[in-house]
Amino acid sequence: MSQIRVDDLTFYYEGSADYIFEDVSFSLDTRWKLGFIGRNGKGKTTFLKLLLGEYEYRGKISTDMVFDYFPYELPGERMRECAAGFLETWKAGCEEWRVLRELDRMGTDGEVLQRPFETLSHGERTKVMLAVLFSGEHDFLLIDEPTNHLDQASRESVKAYLAQKSGFILVSHDRDLLDACIDHVLVLNRRSIEVQSGNFSSWEENKQRQDTFARMENEKHLKEIGHLKKASGRARQWADTNEQTKIGYDPVEEHDRPTRAYIGGKTKKMEKRRKQMETRLAREIEEKEGLLQDIEMTVSLKMFPLAHHKEVLVSAKGYGLGYGEKGPVFKDLSFAMQQGDRIFLNGKNGCGKSSLIRALLRHLKDRGGTGIQEDAEGNGLTEKEKSALWESGILETASGITVSYVNQDTGFLQGSITEFCRKRELDESLFCTLMRQLGLERAQLTRRLEEFSQGQKKKVLIAASVMTPAHLYVWDEPLNYMDIFSRIQLEELILSAAPTMLIVEHDVCFREKIATGVIVL
């Protein structure tokens, strides 16, 4: 049995005032299927990089294991090559027959190794990388968000594959994947790190019990502290009043009064009692400290959907879409979206989900819709796409719809939060409050957006959308990289506010909780 021991680990990024890890100690068994859970920006990917030796740190990480990391990087100039030609670039000593074996276990034809890598879908690229990753025999594997951008079929394939494996750390916010693939969890809490056996659901159940107990203990201590403060105040008042009776005392004329010695002794007893109460008070306060330090204070969010004068906002009859002479991306699509509907678009990568969204946004803009921008965010179609685009059937939208859009891409985000809010005409103070409610620390809000983690960038777009009153919210893969706690917050928000939404999202738990309908392309 091999272990990874972490002793007094301390790390922070140069120029940052906050520690990512401070005097952290724990140990891991390298046979575990370990899920890694925590808020965005808490240091999950950073810890994996520390294991790989990419950053300097204080403390000690002890193990005899060799680590390998997913996803692999590939220079842009090599994207035109076939994967079979650069397997050893990713993993020294990698043998193609082992990769083919792992691909077969994922139900994927080995011919993907003979096609230019840039022509492979997101799912095919992920499977090739995972096949290379698991082609070794004794490595401990660090797997960072393997299901982002994958369609449901690819997610199921990856889930079934990882469920058969062991000896890895899996960073993921997909609750369904974590439940299926892990037997231990490593959790970055708000102020501590813990290791537990079980999957995500068992950890969540334990967490809820612990949080409930901590809140009850906190309430009990608060009541005891209140009682002790009142009792201590009364004892102090009684002692002061009793001591005052010695002033002006004449033992000859007032021979029937208690002696000064008696009064002093009584005062001393009262003072002793007060000090005992203050000692108990200090102990109660000390025991209360830390009770709530690891509870995720997920604040209820608010959004303000607009009501439209028409009940049906979008409808399609035999609608199809394609580009150039390549044939239809999809055809014969019919649906009607009424106010209050939350429709999910589902289907394989490349089936036309994002193409349908872009076409819909163009139709909405042509009908006087607002909130739709054709800029670096990619809300609209490029000139090349427009010239090659053809449509069939009917796609109708109500006029004058205000749209709030979340793009699946975050690469365009740059500059400060102040600049972002000014461009989007958002109240900066409210925006920062919302970002804090989504789990960002106050100090992080002063950083430039390009320095944010992928999950934090997603929160920027989600927060901007939530703050925007709209008739229709169009979200294209909004949860990629976003932590579990924020996903739960968004579920509660959507169920409470009941906005009209068109969503592309492959998180099964999220879809099952909020969808009123699913369109399969």
Q: Which is it for the CA torsion 478, 170, 86, 161, positive or negative?
A: negative
Q: Do domains 3-203 and 312-520 have the same CATH topology?
A: yes
Chain-centroid distance of CA 157 in Å reads 23
Q: How far apart are CA 416 and CA 431, in angstroms?
A: 13
Note whether 307 and 388 are within 8 A (CB): no
Q: How does DSSP classify residue 320?
A: E
Note whether 514 and 494 are within 8 A (CB): yes
Section 266-295 average pLDDT: 67
Q: How many Cβ atoms sit within 10 Å of the Cβ of residue 264?
A: 13
Please return the burial class of 211, using the count of CB atoms within 10 Å of its CB with bins 0-12, 13-18 and 19+.
Answer: middle
Q: How far apart are CA 225 and CA 281, in angstroms?
A: 6
Residue 375 pLDDT grade (very low, low, confident, very high; cuts 50, 70, 90) = very low
Give 471-489 pLDDT, tens digit per residue: 999 999 898 888 888 899 9
- Contacts of residue 269, defined as CB under 8 A and 6 or more positions apart, other chains included, come to none
Give 317-363 pLDDT, tens digit per residue: 999 988 777 778 888 999 999 999 999 998 887 788 888 998 899 88
Structural domain boundaries of the chain? Answer: 3-203, 207-288, 312-520
Asked whether residue 34 carries a pLDDT value surpassing 90, the answer given is yes
Sequential DSSP letters for 107-175: T--GGGGGSBGGGS-HHHHHHHHHHHHTTSSSPEEEEE-TTTT--HHHHHHHHHHHHT--SEEEE---H
Note whether 449 and 420 are within 8 A (CB): yes
What per-residue string of b and e applies to 221-260 under the rule 16 or more CB within 10 Å gives b?
A: beebbeebeeebeebbebbeebbeeeeeeeeeeeeeeeee
Tokens of 14: 């140069």
Tokens of 315: 């409808």
Percent of all residues in the chain with a pLDDT value above 70, rounded to a whole number: 84
Residue 380 pLDDT grade (very low, low, confident, very high; cuts 50, 70, 90) = very low
Straight-line distance from the first to the last Cα atom of the chain, in angstroms, rounded to the nearest whole number:
48
Q: How far apart are CA 84 and CA 467, in angstroms?
A: 48
Q: What is the CA radius of gyration of the chain?
A: 30
Segment among 44-53, 102-111, 205-214, 502-511 with least mean pLDDT? 205-214
Asked whether residue 434 carries a pLDDT value surpassing 60, the answer given is yes
Section 167-181 average pLDDT: 92
Q: How many Cβ atoms sit within 10 Å of the Cβ of residue 138?
A: 10
For 3-203, CATH number?
3.40.50.300
Residue 273 pLDDT grade (very low, low, confident, very high; cuts 50, 70, 90) = confident
Give 382-411 pLDDT, tens digit per residue: 566 566 778 899 999 999 999 999 988 888
pLDDT for 129 equals 93
pLDDT for 499 equals 96
Residue 378 pLDDT grade (very low, low, confident, very high; cuts 50, 70, 90) = very low
Q: How far apart are CA 332 and CA 323, in angstroms?
A: 16
pLDDT for 254 equals 54
pLDDT for 289 equals 61
CATH architecture of 312-520: 3-Layer(aba) Sandwich (3.40)
- At residue 501, the 3 state secondary structure works out as strand
pLDDT for 250 equals 56
Residue 497, Ramachandran bin (φ over 0: left; ψ between -120 and 50: alpha; else beta): alpha
pLDDT for 242 equals 63
Q: How does DSSP classify residue 402?
A: B
Q: How far apart are CA 457 and CA 33, in angstroms?
A: 29
Segment among 55-64, 133-142, 195-204, 265-274 with least mean pLDDT? 265-274
Segment among 229-233, 249-253, 297-301, 511-515 with least mean pLDDT? 249-253
pLDDT averaged over every residue in the chain = 84
Asked whether residue 443 carries a pLDDT value surpassing 60, the answer given is yes
pLDDT for 377 equals 38
Q: Which residues partner with 171 through β-bridges?
A: 36, 144
Residue 297 pLDDT grade (very low, low, confident, very high; cuts 50, 70, 90) = low
- At residue 323, the 3 state secondary structure works out as strand
